[in-house]
Amino acid sequence: MQLKRENWDRTLVGYQWRDEENNMRGHTVDDLNKKQLSEAENLYEKVFILMRDEIASSCEYLCMDNEIDRLTLCQVLAGSLAKGGNFITKEGR
């Protein structure tokens, strides 16, 4: 099931989801709040953990109500993701 952003909310240990079409709700525990990179089960988890750790070490002072801070966060994350050299975009580049 592919969830639209408006149909899920992050919790500390996972996310709450809802499928209005099928009248279903639930909570998925992924433990991404504490997993280490070596424990990641797929690319999504690796990216999540990489960004989580980068934000914790480089961006804890940022405020998401401030556009410059949001752009700073994007720059930090893009730099971190690009470090590996094999980052794949939707366009396949």
Question: Which residue in 52, 18, 17, 16 sits closest to 32, CA to CA?
Answer: 52
User: What is the model's pTM?
Assistant: 0.70
| Predicted confidence (pLDDT) at residue 53 exceeds the cutoff of 60 | yes
Structure tokens at 58: 């480089």
* Section 45-62 average pLDDT: 85
* Section 4-31 average pLDDT: 86
Question: Which residue in 54, 92, 52, 44 sits closest to 76, CA to CA?
Answer: 54
Strands (E), 1-93: 8-10, 14-19, 24-29
| Predicted confidence (pLDDT) at residue 93 exceeds the cutoff of 50 | no
* Sequence-distant (≥ 6) Cβ neighbours of residue 40 within 8 angstroms: 46, 48, 49
| Predicted confidence (pLDDT) at residue 27 exceeds the cutoff of 50 | yes
